[in-house]
A and B are shown apart, each in its own frame.
Chain A
Amino acid sequence: MTETTRRDLLKGAAGAVVLAPGLTLIAAKAQARAPGSAASAANRFGLLIDTGKCDSGCTACVDACKTEMGLTGHDRPATDVQYIRKVNVKDPATGAAHSVPVMCQHCAKPPCVDVCPTGASMKRADGIVLVDRHICIGCRYCMMACPYKARSFAHEDQTNQREANPRGKGCVEACTLCAHRIDAGAKPACVEACAATGKAAILFGDLADPNSELSRRVAAEASTRIRADLGTGPAVRYQGI
């Protein structure tokens, strides 16, 4: 634990909230959860994606995801594993085109969890939807149930997996919102990669924390959720579509 110096305090003042003269509330940085403590229902992690900043030709988030999660393909786009898809949409009436990164929407009421016959498809206390591949039997009901086409199936034997993302043949898998990075106090790989390109179209934050930048922006600005009519309550919100 480092001590907060006067200099740090002044540097942090930009992102701080002044409650009263001389009393300042500094917005807490994302911190690693203490070892041994479980994910908490006090958090609800999510994303806000500004499609106005997202280029159709840019695949920085998709590439970063593949590297982070150790995803390899077989030049079979229809069945290769993907955690993020870039979907190019166009309004036929106006011609307005957008490129939309679509990943697991980490629903509040995930249909994939409802249909899973083994309990492998599950929602963590902090709202992150995961596949417990220890008990996944590869039936792919969840893939059919997901309205966002977010889940993939590993059709082939896998090698060279990353430490943080064990994955193997015969299991369904999807975006984990980089749970391993969030638990360590970092942001998801796609968010970092997008910020590194200078576009910063993806904002990560805690929807349950009213002081987070994400909460403040979704409270102040218009945002939409894909197929909100289904009532799944996604934690991923979009702007500009």
Chain B
Amino acid sequence: MRAWVLSLLMGLVWLTGQAWAGDISPVIPKAQGACVDEPQAMRRHHFDYLKHQRDDTLRSGIRGAKYSLKECVSCHALRGHDGKAVPVNAEGQFCQSCHSYAAVSIDCFTCHATVPDKAPKTAGVTQ
């Protein structure tokens, strides 16, 4: 009897644990095409890459480098149901979903465009 109750309790704990884990993990929309670097490296270092790149681009005028916020947005902004691009910093979108999970605010998009000038490359519909 005791063993049965214990196994039931453990099962319940496992189940609720699963449910919680599912709730809090960020759901990150997928972009079409390959990233400019390994996803692991981008997750760990994207801010360093972008911060280094921004000075080269603005102050020295070096264009077409490997890392570019404009390119990030052009691949990661998805098309919404209305056919328009959804801002990458909107709730549940690529940048915001991970940043809200990590509790890190993004300063980039107080100034930078959150949708590409042209139609987004990614056909995925979200929201």
Residues of A within 8 A of B (CB): 33, 35-39, 70, 122, 124-126, 128, 130, 132-134, 157-158, 160-164, 166-169, 171, 179, 183-184
Task: Evaluate contact between A38 and B62: CB separation under 8 angstroms.
Answer: yes
Query: B61 contacts the other chain (Cβ, under 8 Å)?
Result: yes
Give the residue of A36, A124, A166 whose beta carbon is less than 8 angstroms from that of B112.
A166
For A126, A161, A164, A179, which residue has the most chain B Cβ atoms within 10 angstroms?
Answer: A161
Q: List 28 A-B contacts (CB under 8 A).
A: A33-B61, A33-B63, A35-B64, A36-B62, A36-B63, A36-B64, A36-B65, A38-B60, A122-B59, A124-B59, A124-B60, A125-B60, A125-B61, A126-B61, A130-B58, A132-B55, A132-B58, A132-B59, A134-B54, A134-B58, A157-B110, A158-B110, A161-B112, A162-B113, A164-B117, A166-B112, A168-B111, A183-B61
Residues in A with CB closer than 8 Å to B112 are 161, 166
Query: Known contacts A134-B54, A162-B117, A163-B70: does B110 contact A168 (CB below 8 Å)?
Result: yes
Q: A38-B56, A124-B59 provided; 8 other pairs, C-beta below 8 A?
A: A33-B63, A35-B65, A37-B62, A38-B60, A128-B61, A166-B113, A169-B110, A183-B63
Closest to A179 in B: B61
Interface size on B, residues (CB 8 A): 19
Closest to A135 in B: B55
Task: Evaluate contact between A161 and B63: CB separation under 8 angstroms.
Answer: no
Task: Evaluate contact between A161 and B60: CB separation under 8 angstroms.
Answer: no
Interfacial residues of chain B within 66-86, with CB under 8 A of chain A in the complex = 70, 73
Residues in B with CB closer than 8 Å to A168 are 110-111
Query: Known contacts A162-B117, A163-B116, A163-B117: does B61 contact A38 (CB below 8 Å)?
Result: yes
Residues in A with CB closer than 8 Å to B73 are 163
Residues in A with CB closer than 8 Å to B70 are 163
Residues in A with CB closer than 8 Å to B56 are 38
Closest to B51 in A: A134
Task: Evaluate contact between B60 and A39: CB separation under 8 angstroms.
Answer: yes
What are the 8 A-B residue pairs with the smallest beta carbon separation, nearest first? A35-B64, A39-B61, A168-B111, A166-B111, A38-B60, A166-B112, A168-B110, A163-B117
Task: Evaluate contact between A35 and B63: CB separation under 8 angstroms.
Answer: yes
Task: Evaluate contact between A124 and B117: CB separation under 8 angstroms.
Answer: no
| A182-B56 Cα distance, complex, nearest whole Å | 16
| A162-B115 Cα distance, complex, nearest whole Å | 9
| A33-B57 Cα distance, complex, nearest whole Å | 13
Task: Evaluate contact between B113 and A163: CB separation under 8 angstroms.
Answer: yes
| A230-B63 Cα distance, complex, nearest whole Å | 34
| A39-B61 Cα distance, complex, nearest whole Å | 5
Closest to A158 in B: B111
Residues in B with CB closer than 8 Å to A36 are 62-65
Closest to A176 in B: B58
Task: Evaluate contact between B61 and A124: CB separation under 8 angstroms.
Answer: yes
Closest to A183 in B: B63
For A160, A164, A166, A168, which residue has the most chain B Cβ atoms within 10 angstroms?
Answer: A166
| A39-B58 Cα distance, complex, nearest whole Å | 10
Task: Evaluate contact between A171 and B113: CB separation under 8 angstroms.
Answer: no
Closest to A168 in B: B111
For B54, B61, B63, B64, which residue has the most chain A Cβ atoms within 10 angstroms?
Answer: B61
Closest to A160 in B: B113
Query: Known contacts A130-B58, A134-B58: does B111 contact A167 (CB below 8 Å)?
Result: yes
